[in-house]
Amino acid sequence: MECLPGFREFYPEPLPLKDAWSCDARNHLFAAWRHTARAYGFREYDGPPLEPLELYTAKSGAEIVGQLFNFVDKGDRAVAMRPEMTPTVARMIAASERAYKKPIKWFSLPQLFRYEKQQKGRLREHFQLNCDIFGEPDVSADAEIVALLIDVLRRLGLDSSDFVIRLSSRQAWQRFHESRGGDPAKAYEFYQVIDKIEREKPEVTAEKLAALGIAMADVQEFIRAGEPTPELRAVLDNLAARGLREYVAIDYNVIRGLAYYTGIVFEAFDRKGEFRAIAGGGRYDQLVALLSRGRVDIPALGFGMGDVVLLELLKARGKLPASDSGLDSVVIIEDESLRPESLALVQRLREAGRLVDYSLTPAKGDKQLKRALELGARYSHRVERDAGGAVVYRTRHLASRCELVGDLASALATSDPAR
């Protein structure tokens, strides 16, 4: 009854097992993802983890089924665990876009599932930040989505020495292909060759290109020149105005494998080239119309960023925060006759927003203090009786060992509010 291969369990820190996944680190990502998307005015949505199989075959053809967790449910429906979020959000947009002011800026943090061939470190689920803008054809939206991608990574402590966004354009390649007399019906086949150009042997690429009537040297020169299209130029200027120019580079090696991209496309990579792509996206103006069978035609663009490569990169660059229980206070109970008053203090501190722990059962004061220090609590509190028998509260700032003795109100006032 072990965990299924390719699935993860997330443990609280300190991690109990070698190679265990940290729920704290995952939540650190989620918090940065949510904060930055919200800072950009994006609103959160969510959809079902289980969907009709047809939602995926309609867009990607029947061959995708081999990579899905799909089955027939007890109501004889062909269903699949979602491998990506775009079809779901396209359906939600098609159903609701008339009710929202444009542009619609949405994000989500779904867990996604693919039945990948089993390899070391190859997972079958991951979490992904999905950010999309619907209803804005202007290139200012492309700049906004790229800026958001940059700021998500900056929020996590990465800078321009750590990562770069490689900007490209489906249109640039389309015009290239047309201007060289390429067969429009074979444009997607040509894009697929470009998509593999960095991973494939040059002679293999040259052969494939020749079969399409395109010269390898011509393609190489086009990539080398890296002349931005007017749309890409506008994105570069827009990002420069924000002070983000150093995070992007024109790179026509990028074209994105998926068929549905129509405009600017981009991928985020670590500068050292040690990892797979951190994120990728682009403009897909015709997808909502395709998935809604022409009922709703709305321009769209967005990106997806998975948790797995990103966690690896943050770990390698030392950018994951140290384990922290987040505790504000520990209430130490030495005199069991004062447990009711101590419980009342625990309650009041928690009601005041503090993160508070205490020993459920009798234990030595020293041991309780040691535990408070291990947990990284900032304050300890003790309920005591003064010489006259009145209940008083002793609050200690653990780092400085400063102590203050006073009434309940003073105990609440002395300790800072929750971080």
Question: Cβ(139)–Cβ(153) under 8 Å?
Answer: no
Among 63, 101, 389, 400, binds a copy of itself (CB under 8 A): 101
- For residue 416, the Cα-to-chain-centroid distance in whole angstroms is 31
Identify the bridge partners of residue 167 per DSSP, sorted by sequence position: 250, 266
Interface of this chain with a copy of itself, residues 308 to 327, rule: CB under 8 A: 325-327
Interface of this chain with a copy of itself, residues 120 to 139, rule: CB under 8 A: 125, 136, 138
Residue 103 near a copy of itself by CB under 8 A: yes
Among 249, 277, 290, 343, binds a copy of itself (CB under 8 A): 343
Query: Minimal CA–CA distance to 126: which of 114, 136, 117, 138?
Result: 114
Among 33, 45, 284, 379, binds a copy of itself (CB under 8 A): 45
Coil, helix or strand for 342? helix
- Between 262 and 359, CB nearer to a copy of itself: 359
Residue 141 near a copy of itself by CB under 8 A: yes
**CA of 78: how far to CAs of 52, 71, 211, 416, in Å?**
6, 6, 39, 55
Residue 222 near a copy of itself by CB under 8 A: no
Sequence-separated (6 or more) residues with CB below 8 Å from residue 199: none
Q: How far is the CB of 200 from a copy of itself (least distance, A)?
A: 28
Which range of residues in 75-83, 206-214, 274-282, 381-389 is near a copy of itself by CB under 8 A?
A: 75-83
DSSP-assigned letters across all residues of 347-360:
HHHHHTT--EEE-S
Coil, helix or strand for 189? helix
**Which DSSP category does 101 fall into?**
P
Coil, helix or strand for 134? strand
Which range of residues in 107-115, 159-167, 178-186, 313-321 is near a copy of itself by CB under 8 A?
A: 107-115
Query: What's at 362, amino acid-wise?
Result: P
Q: How far is the CB of 361 from a copy of itself (least distance, A)?
A: 5
Which range of residues in 40-48, 164-172, 195-203, 263-271 is near a copy of itself by CB under 8 A?
A: 40-48
Residue 48 near a copy of itself by CB under 8 A: yes
Q: How far is the CB of 337 from a copy of itself (least distance, A)?
A: 12
Query: Minimal CA–CA distance to 93: which of 136, 141, 64?
Result: 136
Query: What's at 18, amino acid-wise?
Result: K
Coil, helix or strand for 326? coil
Among 25, 29, 32, 81, binds a copy of itself (CB under 8 A): 81
Residue 41 near a copy of itself by CB under 8 A: yes
- CA pair distance 111, 407, nearest whole angstrom: 49
- Between 103 and 182, CB nearer to a copy of itself: 103
Q: Which residue's structure tokens are 């109970």?
A: 333
Residue 231 near a copy of itself by CB under 8 A: no
Among 25, 60, 83, 106, binds a copy of itself (CB under 8 A): 106
Interface of this chain with a copy of itself, residues 244 to 263, rule: CB under 8 A: 244
